[in-house]
């Protein structure tokens, strides 16, 4: 240490007086480490204060919060200037009461079921029901409505489709609170960015100065300032302790989210056992190998005079690290294969079959009607009023007529566009699109024609099927799910039932299990009165993938389930025929009654 102090004094004298003169003396004072650390600490404190307190300057901006929520949850289906999967939202806050909008965003399907006229019109027009956002708070929905009141037109695909208005735009009112909020937000963000850049530059300058000083010390004294091998060796121990400590902390704090002790299905316990066996084996190997890795790196660090031993081969070691992993992997594979085989075997005879239909971005569930049979289906029959493509003859007739009408309109439009003498590039593009659309519609018509008279497809079994937005199961009664998909690959995932199965367009898949805990029982176990089972999509299927879920309710008795089923209405219930008020009474064919009336007349 004394040598180092003498070296430092010598370096100071050399650098400040002989090399840099007065400027060097001033530089030394500036580069004093304590001063630099104090300045750096002060700068970082200022930056931290700005970062912590600056958000309050724009957190009150409901419009900004609403815009963020809207872009995260609504842009996959809605535009402002035109219809998408849902209606255009321009001026929606003036066309609909705010209370209606709040209820619609939260529970659109319940409003339709209650007979809301606007909701029913939207469902008939677009063929789908808007996703419920029951998880949103009233404040969040209020923020979205506040954003909609600004009538934004700059979202991708939205504003660009609106007709541009001629003439100058009205001047911006500087007293508008929304304008002030945006200006404040922009100013604060600019200040934060400037301070961050300033601090980064200061840190780089300080680091460069420190390393330059340390380099000069070593150069003028010949004494190495540090031993990099020793530093790296101790860093290995630090990384080992911190890494393993963080691993065990993660298991302790977040292990409860692994769902390893609350399976709600019969096979769930075996799945949990398999996962825990895998975790114990791989966890033991992980801890042992990591400790060996870092400890060996520490023990055999570079030292002067030490030479590594050349050790090319050892048959016994080869046997050990080949046979032991092979045994461990064999146990894991056989264990997993056995469990998977028991899960995917044929469903029991008393299992009820329910179809789950996935689409972007929601689920439809189909239960058998009074005939206890699920009807036939075909993707060619999918339409706005028949989203599952069920074999219902009335729906088939309507769809065929609709496709035929649209084809005739497009062919007529194409013929008229061909008469344009000098079409523009946009018109040529539209004509090419019409050709493609006509080709697809003709192909669709030919496939529909092939289904005409198909007795198996239209055998009436689908006429009474129930198409619902909720799954209801009975405790201890096997359920056999049949999964289908309309557009892209989805993945049906219900963690508490330990169930996951891909939903592939054109290829039905199945999964069966027996639920063992009702919804009420699980609420008691988790001490959460608001808990519900859900079926999620575990495959990234598009912009609103994360919001794709459907509730599963498990009831205690078959009687509860049958009562719920009796309350549901078939998707294609035939309309009751109206009897004219002036219709004649049906002829009486009862011979005995006729004879009595004749005798009385005499």
Task: Check which CATH number belongs to the domain holding 85 and give it.
Answer: 1.10.760.10
Compute the average pLDDT of residues 3-25: 47
Q: In this structure, is residue 505 part of a structural domain? A: yes
Check residue 472 and give its pLDDT: 96
Nearest 10 degrees: Cα torsion 354, 358, 361, 364: -30
Residue 357 main-chain phi, psi, to 5 deg? -115, 120
Residues 210 and 233 in one domain: no
Residues 154 and 206 in one domain: no
Helical H runs in 419-508? 425-451
The token pair at 255 is: 């292990």
Helix axes 98-106, 138-148, angle to 10 degrees: 120
Segment 315-339, tens digit of pLDDT:
998 999 899 989 989 988 998 898 8
Compute the average pLDDT of residues 204-215: 79
Using the predicted structure, report yes or no on whether residue 461 has a pLDDT greater than 60: yes
CB 556 within 8 A of CB 509: no
DSSP 8-state secondary structure symbol assigned to residue 16: I
Percent of the chain past pLDDT 70, that is, above it, reads 77
Nearest 10 degrees: Cα torsion 516, 520, 523, 529: 170
Check residue 181 and give its pLDDT: 53
Residues 455 and 471 in one domain: no
SS (H, E, C) 228-270: HHHHHHHHHHHHHHHHHHHHHHHHHHHHHHHCCCCCCECCHHH
Compute the average pLDDT of residues 445-466: 91
In the structure, what pLDDT confidence band is assigned to residue 438 with cuts at 50, 70 and 90? very high
Cα–Cα distance for residue pair 395/462, rounded to 1 Å: 11
361 upstream amide cis, omega within 30 of 0: yes
Q: In this structure, is residue 600 part of a structural domain? A: no
In the structure, what pLDDT confidence band is assigned to residue 126 with cuts at 50, 70 and 90? confident
Q: For the chain, give the mean pLDDT.
A: 79
| Helix (H), strand (E) at residue 481 | strand 479-485
Using the predicted structure, report yes or no on whether residue 5 has a pLDDT greater than 70: no
Residues 561 and 522 in one domain: yes
Using the predicted structure, report yes or no on whether residue 72 has a pLDDT greater than 80: no
Residue at a domain's end among 161, 178, 208: 161
The token pair at 529 is: 């009165």
The token pair at 335 is: 């264990």
Residue at a domain's end among 460, 478, 503: 460
| Helix (H), strand (E) at residue 561 | helix 558-567
Cα–Cα distance for residue pair 150/173, rounded to 1 Å: 13
Please report, for residues 127, 179, 489, the alpha-carbon distance to residue 542 in angstroms, rounded to integers and kept in the order given: 20, 34, 10
| Helix (H), strand (E) at residue 355 | strand 352-359
Residues 470 and 489 in one domain: yes
Compute the average pLDDT of residues 554-583: 77
CB 486 within 8 A of CB 380: no
Cα–Cα distance for residue pair 161/84, rounded to 1 Å: 11
Percent of the chain past pLDDT 90, that is, above it, reads 35
Residues 455 and 467 in one domain: no
Give the domain range for residue 322: 228-305+312-344
Compute the average pLDDT of residues 445-462: 91
Using the predicted structure, report yes or no on whether residue 347 has a pLDDT greater than 50: yes
Q: In this structure, is residue 586 part of a structural domain? A: no
CA 248-252-257 angle, to 5 degrees, is 120
The token pair at 410 is: 């497009």
In the structure, what pLDDT confidence band is assigned to residue 139 with cuts at 50, 70 and 90? confident
Compute the average pLDDT of residues 420-437: 90
Query: Quick one: how far is CA 499 from the chain centroid?
Result: 18
Compute the average pLDDT of residues 11-22: 46
Residues 559 and 429 in one domain: no
Using the predicted structure, report yes or no on whether residue 59 has a pLDDT greater than 50: no
44 CB contacts (<8 Å, ≥6 apart)? 199
Compute the average pLDDT of residues 516-535: 93
Q: Which residue has the higher pLDDT, 425 or 128?
A: 425
In the structure, what pLDDT confidence band is assigned to residue 77 with cuts at 50, 70 and 90? confident
CB 129 within 8 A of CB 469: yes
Segment 499-510, tens digit of pLDDT:
999 999 999 999
Segment 145-176, tens digit of pLDDT:
888 888 776 443 333 333 333 444 444 444 55
Least confident range from 37-46, 225-234, 555-564: namely: 37-46
Residue at a domain's end among 428, 460, 492: 460
Cα–Cα distance for residue pair 129/70, rounded to 1 Å: 18
Q: Quick one: 156 exposed, middle or buried, by C-beta within 10 A (0-12, 13-18, 19+)?
A: exposed
Cα–Cα distance for residue pair 486/389, rounded to 1 Å: 10
Using the predicted structure, report yes or no on whether residue 415 has a pLDDT greater than 50: yes
Q: Which residue has the higher pLDDT, 314 or 8?
A: 314
Q: In this structure, is residue 554 part of a structural domain? A: yes
Check residue 164 and give its pLDDT: 39
Residues 238 and 335 in one domain: yes
Using the predicted structure, report yes or no on whether residue 200 has a pLDDT greater than 90: no
**Side-chain-side CA neighbours of residue 431 (13 Å):** 14
Q: What is the CATH number of the domain that holds 535?
A: 2.60.40.420
Compute the average pLDDT of residues 394-423: 91
Q: In this structure, is residue 316 part of a structural domain? A: yes
Check residue 598 and give its pLDDT: 40
Q: In this structure, is residue 181 part of a structural domain? A: no
Residues 279 and 339 in one domain: yes
What total of structural domains would you count in the chain?
A: 5
Q: In this structure, is residue 38 part of a structural domain? A: yes
Residues 157 and 208 in one domain: no
In the structure, what pLDDT confidence band is assigned to residue 354 with cuts at 50, 70 and 90? very high
Query: How many other CB atoms are found less than 10 A from the CB of residue 466?
Result: 18
Cα–Cα distance for residue pair 215/525, rounded to 1 Å: 64
CA 276-279-284 angle, to 5 degrees, is 130
Check residue 2 and give its pLDDT: 53
Compute the average pLDDT of residues 174-181: 49
Residues 488 and 541 in one domain: yes
CB 181 within 8 A of CB 61: yes
Q: In this structure, is residue 358 part of a structural domain? A: yes
Residues 369 and 471 in one domain: yes
Using the predicted structure, report yes or no on whether residue 234 has a pLDDT greater than 60: yes
Using the predicted structure, report yes or no on whether residue 599 has a pLDDT greater than 50: no
Check residue 31 and give its pLDDT: 47
Maximum average pLDDT range among 108-117, 248-257, 280-289? 280-289
Compute the average pLDDT of residues 234-258: 88
CB 276 within 8 A of CB 334: no
Q: Does the global pTM surpass 0.95?
A: no
In the structure, what pLDDT confidence band is assigned to residue 600 with cuts at 50, 70 and 90? very low
């Amino acid at each position: 240490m004394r040598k180092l102090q003498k070296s430092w004094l010598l370096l100071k004298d050399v650098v400040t007086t002989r090399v840099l003169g007065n400027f060097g003396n001033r530089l030394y004072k500036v580069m004093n480490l304590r001063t630099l650390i104090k300045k750096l600490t002060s700068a970082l404190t200022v930056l931290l204060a700005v970062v912590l307190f600056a958000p309050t300057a724009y957190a009150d901006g409901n419009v900004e919060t609403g815009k963020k929520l809207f872009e995260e949850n609504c842009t996959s289906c809605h535009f402002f200037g035109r219809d998408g999967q849902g209606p255009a939202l321009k001026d929606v806050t003036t066309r609909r009461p705010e209370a209606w909008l709040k209820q619609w965003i939260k529970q659109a399907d319940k409003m339709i079921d209650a007979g809301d006229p606007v909701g029913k019109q939207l469902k008939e027009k677009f063929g789908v029901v808007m996703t419920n956002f029951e998880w949103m708070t009233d404040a969040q929905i209020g923020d979205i409505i506040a954003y909609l009141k600004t009538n934004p037109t700059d979202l991708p695909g939205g504003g660009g489709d609106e007709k541009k208005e001629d003439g100058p735009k009205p001047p911006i009112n500087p007293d508008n609170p929304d304008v002030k909020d945006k200006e404040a937000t922009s100013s604060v963000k600019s200040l934060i960015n400037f301070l961050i850049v300033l601090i980064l530059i200061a840190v780089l300058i300080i680091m460069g100065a420190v390393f330059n000083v340390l380099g000069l010390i070593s150069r003028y004294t010949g004494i190495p300032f540090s031993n990099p091998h020793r530093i790296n060796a101790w860093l290995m121990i630090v990384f080992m302790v911190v890494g393993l400590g963080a691993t065990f902390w993660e298991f302790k704090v977040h292990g409860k989210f692994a769902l390893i002790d609350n399976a709600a299905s019969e096979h769930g316990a075996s799945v949990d056992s398999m996962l825990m066996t895998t975790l114990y084996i791989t966890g033991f190997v992980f801890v042992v190998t990591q400790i060996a890795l870092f400890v060996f790196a520490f023990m055999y660090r570079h030292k002067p005079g030490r030479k590594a031993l050349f050790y090319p081969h050892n048959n016994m070691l080869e046997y050990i690290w080949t046979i032991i992993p092979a045994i461990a992997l064999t146990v894991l594979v056989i264990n997993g294969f056995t469990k998977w085989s028991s899960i995917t075997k044929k469903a029991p005879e008393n299992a009820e079959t329910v179809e789950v239909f996935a689409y972007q971005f929601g689920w439809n569930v189909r239960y058998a009607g009074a005939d206890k049979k699920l009807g036939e289906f075909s993707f060619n029959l999918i339409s706005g009023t028949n989203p599952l493509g069920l074999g219902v003859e009335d729906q088939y007739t309507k769809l065929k007529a609709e496709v035929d009408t649209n084809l005739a309109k497009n062919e007529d439009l194409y013929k008229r566009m061909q008469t344009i003498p000098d079409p523009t590039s946009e018109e040529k593009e539209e004509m090419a699109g019409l050709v493609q659309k006509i080709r697809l519609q003709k192909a669709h018509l030919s496939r529909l024609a092939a289904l005409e008279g198909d007795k198996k497809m239209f055998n009436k079994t689908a006429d009474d099927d129930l198409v619902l937005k909720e799954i209801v199961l009975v405790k201890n009664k096997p359920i056999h799910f049949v999964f289908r998909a309309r557009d892209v690959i989805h993945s049906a995932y219900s963690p508490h039932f330990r169930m996951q199965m891909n939903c592939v367009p054109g290829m039905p898949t199945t999964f069966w299990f027996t639920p063992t805990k009702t919804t009420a029982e699980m609420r008691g176990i988790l001490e959460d009165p608001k808990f519900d089972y859900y079926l999620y999509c575990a495959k990234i299927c598009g912009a609103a993938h994360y919001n794709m879920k459907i509730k599963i309710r498990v009831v205690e008795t078959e009687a509860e389930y049958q009562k719920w089923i009796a309350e549901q209405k078939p998707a294609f219930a035939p309309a009751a025929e109206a009897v004219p008020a002036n219709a004649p009474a049906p002829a009486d064919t009862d011979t005995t009654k006729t004879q009595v009336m004749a005798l009385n007349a005499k």
